Structure 1
Amino acid sequence: MSSESKRERRFVDDREAGNQLWQYVKNLSPEAIAQLSKPQSPEVSSIMERNIIGLLGSLPSEHFEVTVTTNREHLGRLLASAIVSGYFLRNAEQRLDFEQRLHNLDGDRSE
C-alpha cells in the first residue's frame, strides 16, 4: 500500500471516528449535556476561562475589539485542547473532593 493510500485511509478513519463522536454527542439528552457543561466549582470555571484566554490571547476587551480568525483544523485543535483541559480539571476536582472526604473521615475516626 502506498504512503498516499495510507494517508487517505487514515484520514477516512479519523473522519469516521469524529463522526461517531459527533453522533454520540448529538444523541446525549439535554440533561446530560447540561451536567457535562457545568463545572462543579467556581474555581474550575475560573481556571478554564483563564486557560482559554491564554490560548486566544489576553488583550483586554475594554480597550480592544478583538476578532479571532482561524481555519477549521486550528479551531478543532483549540476545542480539543479545551476538552482535554476540562477532563484534567474535572479529574483533579474529583480527586481533591475524594482526598478531602478521606481526610474528614480520618479526622472523625481519631476523635
Structure 2
Amino acid sequence: MNNAPGQVPEYLGAKSLKENALLHYVQAMEPETVSQLSRPASAEVMQVIEHNVLGLLGGLPPQDFDVTVTTSRENLGRLLASAIMSGYFLKGAEQRLAFEQSIGQTGSLDDIE
C-alpha cells in the first residue's frame, strides 16, 4: 500500500468511493480532529494498544529483523474492525475508570443513599 496521502487506492475506484460513506466522512474531517480522536488519553491505554498490536502482528525488533506483513483486503478490513472495537472498549473503560475515581474523591455511592 504505497499511496500518497489523500489519494484513493486503485482497488477503491470512483464508484466504490461514492458508496463508502465512512471513508468519505473520515477524509472530510479536519486533520486536528482526526489527530485528537486517534490519540489515547492515557499512557495505560497506549500500552494496551501496543500490546494488542504486537500480539496481532508479532513483536520482532525492527533493528534485527526486516519484517513484512502481507494480507488480503478482507483480512485487513477485519483487523481494522477489530482495532475500532478495541478502541471503543478501551475508551469506555477509560471513561468509566475516570468516573469511578471522581466519585471516589467526592464520596462513595453508599454515602449518597
Task: Pick the TM interval, shorter chain.
Answer: 0.7 to 0.9
3-state SS of 2:70 partner: coil
Deviation, 1:44, is: 0.7
Report the residue type matching 1:49 in the other structure.
Answer: E
1:64 is paired with a residue whose SS is coil
Moved more, 59-68 or 95-104: 59-68
Instruction: Encode CA deviations 1:74-110: one digit per residue, 9 max, x unaligned.
Output: 1111111111111110110010000000110107xx8
Hey, what's the Cα distance between the residues in 2 that align with 1:23 and 1:30?
14
- Report the structure number with the largest CA radius of gyration: 1
What runs of 5+ residues in structure 2 fail to find an aligned partner?
A: 1-15
What is the aligned partner in structure 1 of residue 37 from structure 2? 36
Instruction: Report 1 or 2 for greater relative contact order, CA contacts < 8 Å, sequence distance ≥ 6.
Output: 1
- Partners of 1:33 and 1:104 in 2: how far apart? 33
Q: Does 1:68 align with 2:69?
A: yes
TM-score, length-scaled by structure 2: 0.73
Percentage of pairs with the same residue:
55
- Give aligned pairs, total: 93
In the alignment, what sits opposite 1:10? none
What is the alpha-carbon distance in structure 2 between the residues aligned to residue 98 and residue 77 of structure 1? 32
Write 1 or 2 for the structure with the bigger share of helix.
Answer: 1
Taking only aligned residues, the RMSD between alpha carbons, in angstroms, comes to: 2.0
- How many Å separate the matches in 1 of 2:33 and 2:63? 35
Deviation, 1:40, is 0.4
Runs of 4+ in 1 over 6 A off after TM superposition: none
What displacement does 1:59 show?
Answer: 2.6
Where in structure 2 are the equivalents of 1:4-15 lying within 5 Å? Answer: none
